[in-house]
């Protein structure tokens, strides 16, 4: 056995012998605010290296808190990452957790333990604002958008919700408040179809003259607000959103909620899931031209403004010192994701995935290595950086240990990494299963990443034109410390490590 294999075995034995991470005793925060961006890459914000996109508010969070360099979203796309964040379970364990259409049924079993339910049980009021994309209503039943829709976030642990059902590029383009479409005129009912258009309505494919933003692939069905969408819809005209207003609308809601909760002296969890910087990228006019990287940079500046307004609201409500703020993204970056918004041209020399390769949809690091910042004044030392290995879904088990030290973990795959989150330990999880889409898995341990033979590898950061290959026979092994771009497959030099990583992945899969 060679030296590195021996090290790996010793590390594995030490991990097995170690008691579960002990959570330092601290007074629980009065506010837990998670700001969850969409498709924001590791390198898209200033404190992770971006030069041409000013993000002073996000950078300030890092200056006042801890910036993690080895944190991952659970997958490299939206729905399964969010599924894992809320359920603490790897999404590849369950069928039907891929990117959902806008008329899908809720995929979280309402009987399951969830992050918001756990927080409720410890006295927190919970509010879900922004992008949902986990389905609504019962399985097998067509959603009637004109009636109260249940189950919704309100049935999986959120006391209140104010959401976009799916994504900005999918119909229906309306906001739902506690299961009801907001601003709906009952005389103009909504109909939605992901199969066919409604008679007399234009589609984006044949009516390009009606589009203010041209599509590049897909996104050529219903036309709403001059933008082609995925799926067809009819009616609900008074309820339709204007994409350019959405960031302000959800931020106003979040601020109102912070003020209300502070006044009522109620501890709360605010899940603030922005639509930025997902397509269609439609910044409010005050952000147009505010970055050096076109519209994709401009919506990142808009995202930063949401962060600024929320952190200022916490401060004004006297909650700053009692607020645990977490900032992250649901998956890595993408340039052309279906609209001709010149994101490729305007990207120029910017590196959306920072030092990593590829982006959204990929098993390579760019797919799921994301910015992750945690701020908690007085508890987390300001301006720190941590290399602890984290998966976003660890928030469930970690917060549970913070609130109820010693309690059995309610979540299947979520691990208590609270000591690392608080900057009290350099160690996060031992293993993290990397997942692109579906059941394509790889595994990370220490500096090593192993992608088993045959797993699809997607390279590039453009939705339609990425290059596809497969992990070769014997698998791919990368030393991420030396080779963050995953260019040098060293599997043949370390067969023992490959075998052990493969066995560990199999063990986790079977767990
Ligand atoms: C893809 C869409 C893409 C985006 C993605 C979901 C096309 C051609 N592509 O199918 O634009 O909507 O789904 O993104 O339609 S996610 O961040 O919600 O996972
Ligand atoms: Ca996403």
Dmax (CA) for the chain in angstroms is: 74
Ligand 1: which of 38, 338, 462 to mutate, judged by most atoms within 8 Å of the beta carbon? 338
* Distance from C-alpha of 153 to C-alpha of 127, rounded to nearest angstrom: 9
- DSSP code for 102: T
Between the CA of 167 and the centroid of ligand 1 the distance, in Å, is 8
CA count, 13 A, side-chain hemisphere, 203? 16
* Distance from C-alpha of 62 to C-alpha of 352, rounded to nearest angstrom: 18
Residue whose CA is at the smallest distance from ligand 1 atom 4 = 337
* Distance from C-alpha of 165 to C-alpha of 189, rounded to nearest angstrom: 17
Tokens of 71: 């944190």
Between the CA of 83 and the centroid of ligand 1 the distance, in Å, is 16
Q: Identify which of 119, 106, 82 has the alpha carbon closest to the alpha carbon of residue 396.
A: 119
Measured from the Cβ of residue 308, the count of other Cβ atoms closer than 10 Å reads 17
- Residue 487 contacts by C-beta under 8 Å, 6 or more apart in sequence? 357
* Distance from C-alpha of 182 to C-alpha of 331, rounded to nearest angstrom: 28
Burial class for 86, CB neighbours closer than 10 Å (0-12, 13-18, 19+): buried
Residues in contact with ligand 1 by the CB-under-6-Å rule are 38-39, 77-78, 99, 133, 167, 169, 217-219, 230, 278-279, 331, 337-338, 463
Residue whose CA is at the smallest distance from ligand 1 atom 5 = 99
Nearest ligand atom owner, CA of 164? 1
Nearest ligand atom owner, CA of 274? 2
Phi/psi region, residue 434 (left: phi>0; alpha: psi -120 to 50; beta: rest), is beta
* Distance from C-alpha of 176 to C-alpha of 131, rounded to nearest angstrom: 11
* Distance from C-alpha of 124 to C-alpha of 419, rounded to nearest angstrom: 22
Question: In angstroms, how far is CA 8 from the centroid of its own chain?
Answer: 31
**Tokens 């809601």 identify what position?**
253
Report the nearest atom of ligand 1 relative to the CA of 218. 8
Between the CA of 228 and the centroid of ligand 2 the distance, in Å, is 19
Nearest ligand atom owner, CA of 38? 2
**β-pair partners for 385:** 67
Secondary structure percentages of the chain, helix, strand, coil, to 5: 30, 20, 50
**Tokens 């912070």 identify what position?**
258
Measured from the Cβ of residue 78, the count of other Cβ atoms closer than 10 Å reads 25
* Distance from C-alpha of 357 to C-alpha of 461, rounded to nearest angstrom: 9
Nearest ligand atom owner, CA of 166? 1
Asked if residue 292 lies in contact with residue 54, where contact means CB atoms within 8 angstroms, the answer is no
Between the CA of 220 and the centroid of ligand 1 the distance, in Å, is 13
Asked if residue 393 lies in contact with residue 374, where contact means CB atoms within 8 angstroms, the answer is no
Burial class for 206, CB neighbours closer than 10 Å (0-12, 13-18, 19+): exposed
Residue-level pLDDT at 2: 52
Between the CA of 395 and the centroid of ligand 2 the distance, in Å, is 19
Burial class for 509, CB neighbours closer than 10 Å (0-12, 13-18, 19+): middle
Residue-level pLDDT at 7: 52
* Distance from C-alpha of 429 to C-alpha of 57, rounded to nearest angstrom: 29
* Distance from C-alpha of 137 to C-alpha of 141, rounded to nearest angstrom: 7
Between the CA of 291 and the centroid of ligand 1 the distance, in Å, is 24
- DSSP code for 25: P
* Distance from C-alpha of 60 to C-alpha of 292, rounded to nearest angstrom: 20
Residue ranges in the chain whose pLDDT is less than 50: 1, 3, 6, 10-19
Residue whose CA is at the smallest distance from ligand 1 atom 18 = 78
Between the CA of 491 and the centroid of ligand 2 the distance, in Å, is 31
Q: Where are the beta strands (DSSP E) in 165-229?
A: 175-177, 180-181, 191-193, 223-224, 227-228
Residue whose CA is at the smallest distance from ligand 1 atom 12 = 169
Residue-level pLDDT at 16: 42
Residue-level pLDDT at 18: 42
Residue-level pLDDT at 23: 77
* Distance from C-alpha of 228 to C-alpha of 66, rounded to nearest angstrom: 40
């Amino acid at each position: 056995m060679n030296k590195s294999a021996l090290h790996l075995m010793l590390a594995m034995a030490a991990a097995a012998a170690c008691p579960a991470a002990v959570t330092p005793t601290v007074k629980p925060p009065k506010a837990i605010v998670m700001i969850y961006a969409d498709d924001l890459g590791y390198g898209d914000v200033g404190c992770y290296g971006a030069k041409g996109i000013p993000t002073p508010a996000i950078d300030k969070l890092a200056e006042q808190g801890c910036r993690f360099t080895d944190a991952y979203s659970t997958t490299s796309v939206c729905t399964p990452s969010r599924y894992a964040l809320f359920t603490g379970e790897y999404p590849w364990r369950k069928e039907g957790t891929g990117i959902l259409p806008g008329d899908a049924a809720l995929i979280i079993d309402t009987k399951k333990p969830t992050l918001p339910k756990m927080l409720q049980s410890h006295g927190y009021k919970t509010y879900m604002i922004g992008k949902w994309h986990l389905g609504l209503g019962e399985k097998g039943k067509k959603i009637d958008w004109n009636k109260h829709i249940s189950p919704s976030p309100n049935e999986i642990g959120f006391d209140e919700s104010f959401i976009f059902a799916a994504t900005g590029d999918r119909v229906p383009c309306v906001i739902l408040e506690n299961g009801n479409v907001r601003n709906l005129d009952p005389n103009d009912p909504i109909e939605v179809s992901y199969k066919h258009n409604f008679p007399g309505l234009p589609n984006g494919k044949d009516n390009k003259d009606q589009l203010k933003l041209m599509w590049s692939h897909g996104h050529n069905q219903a036309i709403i607000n001059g933008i082609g969408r995925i799926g067809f819809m009819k009616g609900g005209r008074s309820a339709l959103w204007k994409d350019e207003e959405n960031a302000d609308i959800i931020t106003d809601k979040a601020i109102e909620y912070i003020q209300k909760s502070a006044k009522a002296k109620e501890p709360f969890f605010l899940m603030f899931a922005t639509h930025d910087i997902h397509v269609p990228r439609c910044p409010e006019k005050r952000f147009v031209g505010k970055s050096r990287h076109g519209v994709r940079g401009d919506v990142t500046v808009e995202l930063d403004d949401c962060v600024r307004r929320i952190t200022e609201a916490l401060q004004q409500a006297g909650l700053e010192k009692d607020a645990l703020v977490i900032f992250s993204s649901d998956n890595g970056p993408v340039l052309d994701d279906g609209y001709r918004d010149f994101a490729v041209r305007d990207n120029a020399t910017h590196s959306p995935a920072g030092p990593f390769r590829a982006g959204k949809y990929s098993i390579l690091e760019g797919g799921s290595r994301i910015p992750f910042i945690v701020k908690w004044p007085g508890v987390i030392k300001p301006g720190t950086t941590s290399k602890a290995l984290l998966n976003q879904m660890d928030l469930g088990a970690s917060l549970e240990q913070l609130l109820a030290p010693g309690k059995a973990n309610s979540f299947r795959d979520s691990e208590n990494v609270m000591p690392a989150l608080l900057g009290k330990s350099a160690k996060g999880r031992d293993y993290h299963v990397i997942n692109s889409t579906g059941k394509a898995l790889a595994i990370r341990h220490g500096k090593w990443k192993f992608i088993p033979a045959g797993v699809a590898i997607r390279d590039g950061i453009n939705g339609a034109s990425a290059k596809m290959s497969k992990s070769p026979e014997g698998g791919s092994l990368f030393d991420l410390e030396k080779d963050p771009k995953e260019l040098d497959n060293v599997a043949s030099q370390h067969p023992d490590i490959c075998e052990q990583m493969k066995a560990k992945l199999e063990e986790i899969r079977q767990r």
